[in-house]
Structure 1
Amino acid sequence: MATTIGIICGSLREQSYNRIIAQSLIQMNKSVQFRWIEIKELPFFNEDLEVNGDPDAVLLFKSAVEEVDGIIIVSPEYNSGIPGVLKNALDWSSRPPKTSPMNKKPIGLIGATPGGFGTAFAQMQLRQVLETMQAQVFPFQKLFISQVHQKINLQEQVLSDEKTKKYLQSYVEEFLDWIQ
């Protein structure tokens, strides 16, 4: 049975650099089944919404998280931190704490930004949040893609930088080895 990896993009922007990077991951390894796990339909986290059971969008999201062998989060950094929509998704997936679908789930982190520092601050925050949730964050591996706007072809919606493709390929292979 093929390994299934969920892809969560931390940006909702239509021409998101991070979505283009995530799409390139899917095309790099044909032995793995990749599955998008969308976050754009999730309501803002509110415990009052849980009283009568999770909203349908949350149930679908949690089910998608449960069904994959691991997840790679590909996210930008906003104001030196985690995008709000991504944090919201993580808050929903942390519930209930003892049986959270993220509990013990292997998670890889990749981030791209036009800036010069990559997504180092957001990834530090993501690690902190995910480890608190008892997710298993890919240790010692960081993939920060800076100056991303110079590494993609926006018109064709593809990653065009060969060096970055090699880094991504290596990251995916190491992530797969780690979860298996």
Structure 2
Amino acid sequence: MSKNKDAPPEATKIAACACHAYALNLQKNCPNLPPVEDIANCLEQVQTEFENADLDMQMPCTMTDTDPCWVLDNLRTLNRVLMLADIEIKEEEPRRLSVRSFDYARPARSNESALLKACILLDVLLKGHRCVQTLHLGQDIVGTRCAQILYASLAFNKSLKYMTAESVCTAGATHQGTS
């Protein structure tokens, strides 16, 4: 869970290469996203937020039948990234997490960078954390080009029980998963 702050310079170069590779992959799967350099920069900023809290955002889910995932003890760090894009993660049931966009809509999202960072973090969570079992996306998130990241992430998620995606057309379509 903890990150080694005394990593050798070559580890930093590897991490930078990994960020670029991640950004290239996202751009390939979601072509309407910002440029690769912007995606890699946002990923590095999210990783820095985690490193400052002595965490590794790539740490896999540790939830068991009796123990919560490490994410539950670190919601503040995750929410520092997510809340800038009007999204939060919280415990909904014991050991079960819910990701929700705030229920109010605003006329225009002023910071696409904050939304991109939030979607990158959610990509990691949805792909690697079975503790995330509910996803609610409001229409102010659904209509953005960064939301493509979340849609692509869902193909890798086997633990999501409930998902709601609101748009002007759907007015709250809900999917209940089976597990």
TM-score range, shorter chain: 0.3 to 0.5
The structure where helix makes up a greater share of residues is 2
The structure showing larger relative contact order (alpha-carbon pairs under 8 Å, at least 6 residues apart) is 1
TM-score by length of 2: 0.33
